Amino acid sequence: MNWDSAMQAPQDEVGEDTGANLETAIGVLQRLRDVVRNQVIGRDDVIELVIIALIADGHVLLEDFPGSGKTTLAKALGEAIGDDRDFEHFIAPFRRIQFTPDLLPSDVTGVPVFDSASNAFHFRHGPIFAHVVLADEINRTSPKVQAAMLEAMGEKQVTVDNVTYPLDELFFVIATQNPLDLVGTYPLPVPQLDRFLFKISMEHIDRKSELEVLETWQSRRDTTGGGSAVTRDELLNSRAAIDREVAIADVVKSTLVDISRNLRDDERVLQGNSTRSLVLMLPALQVAAALRGRNFVSAEDIELLLPRVLGHRIELAPGVADLNRILHDNMREPMERLAGSTLA
């Protein structure tokens, strides 16, 4: 929907600071989105979700197959974020960790090394100290490493030798796993899956986009991203502004609660989603609304995010496979109430 033009009229007249802040935030998000879109072709929906998770302070789990462009996506995202602070030189914009069965936690977090010059131990920061971390094939490593990774994701800090090193405020993990090749993997249990805001199943890009990838791969290989489009501080400000400015109507909240209650009552669902998942979803809904230029959460935000947020948090009854169907069945009625409420 062309929200930008639709909101044109009010923007001219809203002169307050708050509105301006939201304007700026929306501008930042759109800039970031456009830059990443230039690098990753045919994945607009995934880019949008990834940006939503980034701003909503969540992490994403991509389920896909090798060579589908997830590294390109993560790298483009990391490179688009500049850091104008020079004192924290150890925070890289982007790091990629390939998880293997023999990886150790220190390979991820970093390790204290003895510096003979200063005759002391210095902590050498691991690849996790970055704005965007691509945790590739996270289910291939041992539970121990997974735990270290997931602790960092939850607490935004790592602890090595009893010393705690904080991670940056802007810390975003894109983890991937291959849904088919499961031999020799350590599947993530449900509580750990809960750390991820979204689980996104990527599908093959369409023919036109695939052709475009082949035609432009040389030019994209030669450029190095063209510098950062947004800064870390801009992103953090946007996060704050969106959190403050985008309204969530009560009827939206009651819709979310009704949907989860329906899901819990559905006999095809063994275990429904947690209340926490709803709490986590609220900032994501706000970002989704902002990304569409709106200052309020609406039904289409719920339609977009609900399957991604709840999909990996619901345990289905044995023999039931069709998650989308279940979600659809349970959403219809509360969504109709939501739509009906606007005319009441």
Structure token pair of residue 84: 């104008």
* CB-count exposure of residue 255 (10 Å: 0-12, 13-18, 19+): buried
Is 222 a residue that touches other proteins (CB under 8 A)?
no
Please state, in angstroms and rounded to a whole number, the distance separating the CA atoms of residues 29 and 56: 12
Is 316 a residue that touches other proteins (CB under 8 A)?
no
Is 260 a residue that touches other proteins (CB under 8 A)?
no
Handedness of CA 90, 159, 134, 312 (dihedral sign): negative
Please state, in angstroms and rounded to a whole number, the distance separating the CA atoms of residues 54 and 67: 23
Among positions 26, 188, 295, 310, the unique one binding other proteins when judged by CB under 8 A: 295
Segment near other proteins (CB under 8 A), from 10-18, 51-59, 94-102, 231-239?
10-18
Say which residues have a Cβ less than 8 Å from residue 328's Cβ, sequence separation at least 6: none
CB of 22 to other proteins, least distance (A): 9
Helix H or strand E segment including 281: helix 275-291
* CB-count exposure of residue 86 (10 Å: 0-12, 13-18, 19+): exposed
CB of 333 to other proteins, least distance (A): 7
Interaction mask 224-253, other proteins, x per CB under 8 A? -----------------------x-x-xx-
Segment near other proteins (CB under 8 A), from 14-22, 147-155, 190-198, 268-276?
14-22
CB distance 126 to 91 below 8 Å: no
Of 5 and 219, nearer to other proteins (C-beta) is 5
CB of 262 to other proteins, least distance (A): 12
Say which residues have a Cβ less than 8 Å from residue 256's Cβ, sequence separation at least 6: 278, 281, 302
Question: Residue with structure tokens 């450029």?
Answer: 223
Please state, in angstroms and rounded to a whole number, the distance separating the CA atoms of residues 161 and 299: 48
Interaction mask 29-68, other proteins, x per CB under 8 A? ----------------x-----------------------
Is 310 a residue that touches other proteins (CB under 8 A)?
no
Tell me which residues touch other proteins (CB under 8 A).
1-3, 5-7, 9-11, 13-14, 18-19, 45, 247, 249, 251-252, 294-300, 302-304, 307, 322, 324-325, 327-328, 331-333, 335-336, 338-343
